[in-house]
Amino acid sequence: MTHAAPIRRSPISKRIFDLVLVLPGLVLISPLLALTAVVVLVGLGPPVLFRQTRAGRYGKPFVYYKFRTMSDVRDEHGELLPDELRLTRLGRLLRSLSLDELPALLNVIRREMSLVGPRPLYVKYLDRYTPEQARRHEVLPGITGLAQISGRNVLAWEERFRLDVWYVDHWSLWLDLKILLITAWKVLRREAISQPGHATAEEFRG
């Protein structure tokens, strides 16, 4: 999929907003990061981090970091079992508390992501978007976003993309702050973690 030339640049104020929250935040939560890493190491074994290539701003690939939540259990042919069978009890707990997302703060520091923005999705989806849906890539992807606080994985893909594009067109620091506050509330309530019948979101097929 060929992406159009950048329409606008993310305001520098958004970058400053991210760093002002992330840098001191990392210091504050460093004990939680260390504890989670140890729990994952003991519960699932190495590697502690899950690394996967995702599509960033303008579709540029980057390596996305999360704490690992799945086992490496394989069938008799050596193929990984479906996500639903590999997602462990520990992994479900980490996801329900959104602790698995904490390593993505490194992606924010590396300027590959923002705290708030459309969810970073698989690179293979790039050719499946409509031109309007592809506009979600005009901004950096986010750890949380408008679609996440509006239903997360429970939403249909079309509705998620509609919200992503709305965010692109209406971004402001106040909107980012509001989304972060609502995200914190929803994490505490452990709402809409996964799509019914799926360990993660159902694959987007266009």
d(CA 196, CA 194): 6
Beta carbons within 10 angstroms of residue 99's beta carbon: 21
pLDDT at 138 over 80: yes
Q: Encoding tokens for residue 84? A: 């639903």
DSSP summary character for residue 59: G
pLDDT tens per residue, range 8-29: 555 789 999 999 999 999 999 9
Q: Which residues pair with 66 in a beta bridge?
A: 50
d(CA 128, CA 130): 7
Q: Residue 144 in 3-state DSSP?
A: strand
The pLDDT value given to residue 175: 95
d(CA 99, CA 173): 24
Counting residues of the chain whose pLDDT is more than 90, the rounded percentage is 64
Mean pLDDT, rounded, for 148-174: 91
Decide if 115 contacts 143 (C-beta within 8 A): yes
Mean pLDDT, rounded, for 135-159: 91
Q: What is the pTM of this model?
A: 0.85
